[in-house]
Homo-oligomer: A and B are copies of this chain.
Amino acid sequence: MKQFNPESLLPDWAEEFAQNTCGLCFPAEERMMLAIELAGLNVRHKTGGPFGAAVFDRALGKLEAVGINLVIRSNCSHAHAEMVALAIAEHRLSSFSLFRSGNSGYELVTSSEPCSMCFGAVVWSGITRLVCGALTEDAVAAGFDEGPKPEKWVEELEKRGIEVVTGVLREEAVKVLRSYTSQGGTIYNAR
């Protein structure tokens, strides 16, 4: 089989960031800070949209994978921060599902609530906790189309055993969205 490695999506700065942080343990309150930091660095390095995400082991808080928005750079409309982080985590753990029974599962921490695609991807990933920073309306206010999610998308995830916490460090996350817009960052909706 040929080599497919989703980490090859990452620009150099993000690869270095991952090398320096993956494997370290982060207390709950620092996990969103890390996702927002990734979003901000992506804007600063002009490598993509103002979104960052990370996958953590729930029991220890160990960082398994980071993701940033790489849609334009990679010519791939799927390369949202959440998708990149989940694909890298699955690749590193050599498993198409991050579901583990009991207390040993994984959580996805994302600087913004998921769009309609990432919402579905969250279900397939097998994570058991989703933590979001900015709300959908914040991303929309910054010009991003978030797509048609089911009206009660949080409840849909909860029905499937996925705990959802949202609005964590919302103001910090929104600052990054605004910094992208104010510096004229490309809004890469499909049309």
The residue of chain B having its C-beta at the shortest distance from the C-beta of A15 within the complex is: B2
A87 at interface by CB-CB < 8 Å? yes
A18 at interface by CB-CB < 8 Å? no
Cβ of B78 and Cβ of A83 under 8 Å apart? yes
Cβ of A156 and Cβ of B150 under 8 Å apart? no
Task: Please classify how large the interface on chain A is, using the bins under 10, 10 to 19, 20 to 34, 35 or more.
Answer: 35 or more
The residue of chain B having its C-beta at the shortest distance from the C-beta of A101 within the complex is: B191
Binary B-proximity of A144-170 (CB < 8 A = 1, otherwise 0): 010111110100100011000000000
Cβ of B123 and Cβ of A190 under 8 Å apart? yes
Least CB distance from A3 to B in Å reads 6
The residue of chain B having its C-beta at the shortest distance from the C-beta of A93 within the complex is: B75
Pick the residue among B11, B74, B96 that contacts A71 (CB under 8 A): B96
**Which of chain B's residues have a CB closer than 8 A to the CB of A153?**
148
Which residues on A are within 8 Å of B, measured CB to CB? Answer: 1-4, 6, 8-11, 71-79, 83, 86-87, 90-91, 93-99, 115-121, 123-126, 145, 147-151, 153, 156, 160-161, 188-191
| CA gap between A47 and B156 in the complex, in Å | 31
**Which of chain B's residues have a CB closer than 8 A to the CB of A189?**
124
**Which of chain B's residues have a CB closer than 8 A to the CB of A147?**
120, 123-124
Cβ of B156 and Cβ of A77 under 8 Å apart? no
Pick the residue among B95, B117, B118, B148 that contacts A156 (CB under 8 A): B148
Cβ of B8 and Cβ of A2 under 8 Å apart? yes
Least CB distance from A12 to B in Å reads 8
